[in-house]
Amino acid sequence: MSARSFELLIEAAYHPEQPHLFEGGPASVYEQLEKAFKASRLKGDKPTEELGYRFEMVRLGMAIAFVKAFTRLSGNEKSREALEVLQEALKAKSTREIDKIIQKKIESFDHLYHEIFVNEQREQILALFEQTLDAGTKEELDELILEGLEVLQQVDWEAAAQDEDDDELPHLDEDFLKNL
C-alpha cells in the first residue's frame, strides 16, 4: 500500500475541493504510520503510543474521506456535523484526545443513517466508513483504502449533484406570503 493511495482517496472524496486536513498532506500522515510501524517491529512488534496515534490519524483521514463522500452524495446538512467532529479530532495530539472529542459528540453520527437506503452508493460508502472504524490493522486499512478508491471512482458525482438540486423546494416570494 502506498501513501499515494491514501492521498488519492481523500482527493476523490473532496474533488474538486482541495482539502487541507493534514499539515504536510495526507501522504505524510500515511508515511508517518509506516515509520511508526517499522519502529515497532524493531522493538519486537510491541505497539507503542506513537504507532497507535499514527494508526488513528490514518483511520481518521479515511473516515473523513468516506463521510465527506457520503455527505456529497446525500446533501444532508446534518451529516456535515459528523464530518466536522472528525475534522476536529484531527487536531488531537493523542489517541485519548481523539476518543474524547468523538465521544463528546457521538450523537452527530446518528444523522448519517437517515435516508441512506435511497441510494446504493451511499450505502456502500457508509459501509466503508463503518469498516474503517472497525479496522484494527494496517492491512485492513490498506484494503479499505483500495476498496474506497474503487467505489469513489464509480460514483457519478454530477448525477448526485443533479439529484440534490432536484430535491430543493422552490423559493417562495415573501410578498406573496404576506398577502396570504
pLDDT tens-digit map of 90-99: 999 999 999 9
In a domain, 164, yes or no: no
In a domain, 66, yes or no: yes
As a whole number, mean pLDDT of residues 127-141 equals 94
Q: What is the pLDDT of residue 171?
A: 45
In a domain, 173, yes or no: no
Q: What is the pLDDT of residue 159?
A: 72
Of 115 and 112, which is predicted with more confidence?
Answer: 112
Q: What is the pLDDT of residue 35?
A: 94
pLDDT-derived band at 78, boundaries 50, 70, 90? confident
As a whole number, mean pLDDT of residues 16-32 equals 92
Q: Which residues contact 168 (CB under 8 A, 6 or more apart)?
A: none
In a domain, 101, yes or no: yes
In a domain, 137, yes or no: yes
In a domain, 180, yes or no: no
- Alpha-carbon span 180 to 170, nearest angstrom: 17
In a domain, 81, yes or no: yes
pLDDT-derived band at 11, boundaries 50, 70, 90? very high
pLDDT at 125 over 70: yes
Q: What is the pLDDT of residue 64?
A: 96
pLDDT at 141 over 70: yes
In a domain, 171, yes or no: no
| Domains identified in the chain, total number | 1
- pLDDT, tens digit (0-9, with 9 covering 90-100), for 45-77: 777 899 999 999 999 999 999 999 999 988 778
As a whole number, mean pLDDT of residues 104-125 equals 81
Of 160 and 38, which is predicted with more confidence?
Answer: 38
- Alpha-carbon span 26 to 23, nearest angstrom: 8
CB 138 within 8 A of CB 37: yes
pLDDT at 177 over 70: no
Task: Enumerate the H helices of the chain as residue ranges.
Answer: 3-14, 26-42, 49-74, 77-89, 95-104, 120-134, 138-154, 157-167, 174-178
Domain of 59 in residue numbering reads as 3-156
